[in-house]
Amino acid sequence: MIEDVSDSAIWNKHRDELIRYATMLVGPSDAEDLVSTVVVRILHRQGLSDLDDARSYLYRSVLNEARSLVRRRRRRRVPQGFDAQPVELDPEVLAAVLQLPERQRAAVYLTYWRDLPIAEVAQLMGCRPGSIKRYLHIARNRLREVFAHD
């Protein structure tokens, strides 16, 4: 069987997981718009089927766009509204995770909630496995500090 590698097939294959990822990074109100912006920008330059590893490229692009959006929010002092939970979590845990910087939050989400191996998380985020381990280490320490004060 020949796998369909058209732009629409690639989009359909990764759309839902990218939206869940974006939801964790920027919240549900901006997730779909963010992913759409990324895909339109990529398609304006080239096709998804032209990419060597479309999934990794899309994940890195979503992370980069999320970081840009968060920077724009900070400049405008727009609060981050986050209503939906990606998984059943204690609201305090979710609130603490949402306070982490984007890269740490992305690493936590992909590693612990999506249960992806470190090597795959590194590939999706466009960095080395050691960087992911560092992000997770810093995130765990930060979360420990937050809950030690409770």
Measured at the alpha carbon of residue 109, what is the angle toward residues 30 and 80, in degrees to the nearest 5? 30
* More confident: 103 or 1: 103
Looking at the structure, tell me whether residues 68 and 100 fall in a common domain. no
Residue 18: exposed, middle, or buried by beta-carbon count in 10 A (0-12, 13-18, 19+)?
A: buried
- What pTM was computed for the model? 0.69
- Distance of alpha carbon 25 from alpha carbon 32, whole angstroms: 12
Q: What is the pLDDT of residue 148?
A: 86
pLDDT tier, 140 (very low <50, low <70, confident <90, very high otherwise): very high
56-69 tens-digit pLDDT: 999 999 999 999 98
How many structural domains is the chain composed of?
A: 2
Q: Which domain holds residue 138?
A: 86-150
Q: What is the pLDDT of residue 95?
A: 85
* Domain end among 31, 56, 84: 84
74-106 tens-digit pLDDT: 776 544 444 444 456 678 888 888 899 999 999
Looking at the structure, tell me whether residues 31 and 91 fall in a common domain. no
Looking at the structure, tell me whether residues 80 and 138 fall in a common domain. no
Amino acid at 68: S
Looking at the structure, tell me whether residues 14 and 31 fall in a common domain. yes
Looking at the structure, tell me whether residues 4 and 18 fall in a common domain. yes
* Domain end among 54, 84, 114: 84
CATH of residue 146: 1.10.10.10
Q: What is the mean pLDDT of residues 42-50?
A: 89
Closest CA to 65 of 108, 91, 28, 102: 102
Looking at the structure, tell me whether residues 136 and 107 fall in a common domain. yes
Task: Kindly tell me if the per-residue pLDDT of 36 is higher than 90.
Answer: yes
